[in-house]
Structure 1
Amino acid sequence: MSKVRKIPAFIIAGAASGSGKTLITLGMLEALRRRGLVVQAFKTGPDYIDPGIHGALLGRPSYNLDTWMMGSEGVRRTFAKASSGADCAVIEGVMGLYDGRGTGEDGSTAHLSKILGVPVVLVANAEKASRSMGALVLGFDVYDPKVDLRWAIFNRVGSPRHAEMLRASMRKSKVTLLGSVGRDKNLRMDERHLGLVTESAQEIKEIASRAADAIERSIDVDALLKGPLVKVRMTGEATPVKEKVRIGVALDKAFSFYYRENLDMLESLGAELCPFSPLKDESLPHDISALYIGGGYPEIYAARLQQNEKLRHSIKKMAMGGMPVYAECGGLMYLGRALEHNGKKSRMTGIFPFTTRLLARRKALGYREVSFTSGCPFLKKGKIRGHEFHYSEITRMPDGIKRAYREKDAGGEGFTVKNTLASYVHLHFASNPAFASGFMKAAKKYGSRGK
């Protein structure tokens, strides 16, 4: 029988993208960590960069909670499982509080708040307004009365006088103002086309420390811990799988974009995850039966990826010999013949006979739902959801490349050779766990050859 715990939990949402919610979140995580608390972090929506930043700071994985990709039960299950053993939970929102997929609430921070029953802190950039900020918070509060918008934080405030004007603007609202964070050029994080730059762990900790100092000076952190407790239904330990299968996972500065839930799901099915670096390692991990190559920034490290000729040849040899390989976005680029960036062309593994090139403008962004075709090596029918965000394109797709996916109104995607599948779509396995099972089944079959 499952047990129920109650812990403090809250969502840090933004009035819009660029409100500063990531820095406020990092500062809040660090402030709570300084109190000796075990903090579990989450990220609303499909972004895989912010969870990596959370994890680097806290030393424990951060998980995505996306109501469109995972469904209501999926986000409840992940929230409960990941919060096991934590003293409190902090969820970073996505875009503005009510922004989600299209015109509906699916995928939004507000939708997640309602499903989990977690109260919201609204972060608003007050840099160019004063009394109007009270109207903004009031509007957010009444827009959907089912959302528990309980607190607000004003960010990038110019002076103590400005802060007083902002506090006065809140008199008509039932939302509690926790405080105002002052404008500070040292409180910033750079951005790239895929979102926030993936800083080193040390840099993340330094940024979080500065943000925590600012929050401790101006925000009532303890009020959040004294807020409503959220029920977390504790689940029992899963029965361990006796037969382990070693799966190589590309993990370094070039490839780091993974949904943590995907990796957990593979482990629950018997995977022993074996990290390796396409930048540094000249050989693959010993006795692996499959490869998982996620997204990242291969264009930044294209020259170094080209230099590691031994590993490139090894990956191609294994793939052409039938080893199951699954690659997403940056992984797809690595499996092509070449990668073109800033006028320079670098050789990649050559499993697929195409070249990818970086563009100055974004090529694709948005949620995706794909249907499997008979050409998919891991699942022959059904649908699965994911997200696509990239600035690269395939220059010319040669004839004869099989497609594993069908997209509504978009033709075929998911390119296959032997048991290799590469796609620009980052799949979330929770939307169809049978895909993870199929991948593991193919790995076990490959690993049993000759035994």
Structure 2
Amino acid sequence: MSSIKGFIVAGTHSGCGKTSVALGLMAALARRNIKVQPFKTGPDFIDPGHHSRAAGRPCHNLDGWMLSGDTLRDIFSRYAQNADACIVEGVMGLYDGYSALDETGSTSHLSKKLNLPVILVVDAGSMARSAAALVQGFCNFDPETPIAGVIFNRVGSSKHARILEEAISLTDVPLVGCLPRREEISTPSRHLGLVTPDHLEDLDFKYNALADWVEENLELEQIIEALPDIPLQPRFDEVPMIPRVRIGVARDDAFSFYYEENLRLLREAGAELIPFSPIEAKELPEGISGLYFGGGYPELASFDLAQNTKLRRAIADFSATGHPVYAECGGFMYLMESISKDDRLFPMCGVFPFRCSMQSRFQALGYREVKLARETILGPEGTKVRGHEFHYSALEGIKETTQTSYQVTSKKTVSTNEGFIANGNTLGSYIHLHFASNPLVAKNFVEACIHSSRMENI
């Protein structure tokens, strides 16, 4: 059985600097020609984009609530096979997950599922001896969580670093290093996460600055050498599928939120994925039998999207013919009548007979389990799949006659209806579904596109 060196970069809380540390480590190792496979805990889309750019390899999400333990191990082993080391960035605080009473979905939960050691990032600003108490508390809260070391971040001076070194000696946790405060190289935030790589300039400079910050203050070789070997599940070389149908996938600055595993499962089911830009393309890709609109920030490109009237009409016509169209969150917003923002109304595709408006506070946030209440392009009635929802826009003008197909449950006990249907085979929702929580969903969508293609040729 093969093995690999790997660890999780976790944090005491959101905003402690774990993303900067993870990116710095990835970039530092990658520029030494070490093949680093990045992963991200939880349902995030923005951090994985940065990881992919910094490490030079696609990042994959590992979510312990949406995915089973076997699926987590399968994804980890699949993409770790040809790497030299794996770095997983955690989500929120180390123990934060689905609920306050349940570890599911937390970084701690993932570390135990994959037997990955944790390096804990602590914001040590304005702390001295208390930093040791904080670390000890994290270790004692769940002794089964393998905390292998600690990194103190936002350290004010060399004197401050010496005090922290003395304090951590009161615990049994090794000190990996102290990182000085460097606010000028932090990554700005937008909405619920970081700014996407597509909306930042001088990325190579930023990643190199983070790599320098890490290399100057941490002993990278010692970190890697001290890590245990993580066994990987044995795998056979995969035989690629011959594509049976072409599906257009919206990919540009406005639409970039896709789980890599979703795309792989579509290809595995027989789809050839054809990327196109709703901002720039004047027509849909040739020969497609389905469309997939992922999430993103369409509100940031609302002017350009609205100006591309030719493509908006082509998408509306494609949907009207009954071809399968699946859209989530930002893609769902694009298929509505309009997006309103800053007292301006931007026309969109008009597939769904309602609109959305941008709000100053988020309108929904959390895990969702979907059960299909009727047969759709994702599967028969009763099909279950898990996902996550977060958005700042609010729906307006929904008619009572508008059909829905999702029975949605979350931590709230009240079930809600979502999954709006238009033209029979267009399905849209704010929920980002993870197809690996039920791979039949990807297969069903591809089969619906194949059926549509055959009907068109009759």
Shorter-chain TM-score range: over 0.9
Q: Provide the rounded CA distance (Å) in 2 between the counterparts of 1:326 and 1:194.
A: 24
Q: Provide the rounded CA distance (Å) in 1 between the counterparts of 2:254 and 2:150.
A: 37
Select the residue among 33, 38, 41 that pairs with 1:36.
33
What do the CA deviations read for 1:277-296 (whole angstroms, capped 9, x no partner)? Answer: 00001011110111110111
Equivalent in the alignment of 2:416:
411
What do the CA deviations read for 1:257-289 (whole angstroms, capped 9, x no partner)? Answer: 011110011011111111100000101111011
Q: Show the 5 A alignment for 1:262-281.
A: 262-281=262-281
Residues 214/321 of structure 1: CA separation in 2 closer, same or farther (3 Å cut): same
Equivalent in the alignment of 1:315:
315
2:374 partner letter: S
Select the residue among 139, 149, 152 that pairs with 2:150.
152
Equivalent in the alignment of 1:181:
179
Equivalent in the alignment of 2:44:
47
Q: Provide the rounded CA distance (Å) in 2 between the counterparts of 1:243 and 1:162.
A: 59
Calculate the aligned-residue CA RMSD, in Å.
1.2
Q: Provide the rounded CA distance (Å) in 2 between the counterparts of 1:44 and 1:10.
A: 12
Matched residue of 1:37: which SS?
Answer: coil
Equivalent in the alignment of 1:83:
80
Q: Provide the rounded CA distance (Å) in 2 between the counterparts of 1:168 and 1:242.
A: 61
1:390 partner letter: H
Q: Structure 1: which 4+ aligned runs deviate by more than 6 Å?
A: none
The CA deviation at 1:62 is 0.2
The CA deviation at 1:331 is 0.6
Equivalent in the alignment of 1:73:
70
1:444 partnered with 2:450: yes
Q: Show the 5 A alignment for 1:265-304.
A: 265-304=265-304
What do the CA deviations read for 1:69-123 (whole angstroms, capped 9, x no partner)? Answer: 0111111000000112101100000000011001210000000000100000000
Equivalent in the alignment of 1:233:
233
The CA deviation at 1:203 is 3.1
What do the CA deviations read for 1:348-402 (whole angstroms, capped 9, x no partner)? Answer: 0000110100001110000001110115232122211100000101112112211
Range with bigger deviation, 82-91 or 375-384 = 375-384
The alignment's TM-score, normalised by the length of structure 1, stands at 0.97
Q: Provide the rounded CA distance (Å) in 2 between the counterparts of 1:22 and 1:122.
A: 12
Say whether the 8 Å CA contact 2:404–2:421 is kept in structure 1.
yes
Equivalent in the alignment of 1:16:
13
Say whether the 8 Å CA contact 1:41–1:91 is kept in structure 2.
yes
Matched residue of 2:230: which SS?
Answer: strand
The CA deviation at 1:223 is 2.1
Equivalent in the alignment of 2:328:
328
The CA deviation at 1:241 is 2.5
Q: Provide the rounded CA distance (Å) in 1 between the counterparts of 2:192 and 2:141.
A: 30
Q: Provide the rounded CA distance (Å) in 2 between the counterparts of 1:206 and 1:246.
A: 38
Equivalent in the alignment of 1:343:
343
1:414 partner letter: G
What do the CA deviations read for 1:140-165 (whole angstroms, capped 9, x no partner)? Answer: 11211111100110001000000000
Equivalent in the alignment of 1:105:
103
Say whether the 8 Å CA contact 1:375–1:402 is kept in structure 2.
no
Say whether the 8 Å CA contact 1:53–1:204 is kept in structure 2.
no
Equivalent in the alignment of 1:352:
352
Q: Provide the rounded CA distance (Å) in 1 between the counterparts of 2:243 and 2:311.
A: 28
What do the CA deviations read for 1:1-58 (whole angstroms, capped 9, x no partner)? Answer: xxx2111100000010001011101100011112211110000001111111111222
1:144 partner letter: D
Q: Provide the rounded CA distance (Å) in 1 between the counterparts of 2:192 and 2:292.
A: 21
What do the CA deviations read for 1:238-262 (whole angstroms, capped 9, x no partner)? Answer: 3433343111110000010011110
Say whether the 8 Å CA contact 2:30–2:56 is kept in structure 1.
no
What do the CA deviations read for 1:124-176 (whole angstroms, capped 9, x no partner)? Answer: 11112111101111111121111110011000100000000001111121211
Matched residue of 1:378: which SS?
Answer: coil
Equivalent in the alignment of 1:124:
122
Matched residue of 1:61: which SS?
Answer: coil
Select the residue among 59, 62, 65 that pairs with 2:56.
59
The CA deviation at 1:65 is 0.3
1:127 partner letter: G
Range with bigger deviation, 55-64 or 317-326 = 55-64
Matched residue of 2:299: which SS?
Answer: coil
1:395 partner letter: E
Say whether the 8 Å CA contact 1:244–1:271 is kept in structure 2.
yes
Range with bigger deviation, 355-364 or 392-401 = 392-401
Equivalent in the alignment of 1:223:
222
Q: Provide the rounded CA distance (Å) in 1 between the counterparts of 2:154 and 2:445.
A: 47
Equivalent in the alignment of 1:372:
372
Residue ranges of structure 1 left out of the alignment (5+ in a row)? none
Equivalent in the alignment of 1:392:
393
What do the CA deviations read for 1:214-258 (whole angstroms, capped 9, x no partner)? Answer: 111111211221111111123113343334311111000001001
Aligned length: 448
2:235 partner letter: T
Matched residue of 1:300: which SS?
Answer: helix
Equivalent in the alignment of 2:253:
253
1:16 partner letter: H
Equivalent in the alignment of 2:435:
429
1:205 partnered with 2:235: no
Residue ranges of structure 2 left out of the alignment (5+ in a row)? none
Q: Provide the rounded CA distance (Å) in 2 between the counterparts of 1:300 and 1:185.
A: 26
Equivalent in the alignment of 1:242:
242
Q: Provide the rounded CA distance (Å) in 2 between the counterparts of 1:204 and 1:18.
A: 20
Equivalent in the alignment of 1:420:
426
What do the CA deviations read for 1:328-360 (whole angstroms, capped 9, x no partner)? Answer: 000110000011011100000000110100001
Equivalent in the alignment of 1:401:
402
Question: Identity of aligned pairs, percent?
Answer: 44
The CA deviation at 1:420 is 0.5
Matched residue of 2:91: which SS?
Answer: strand
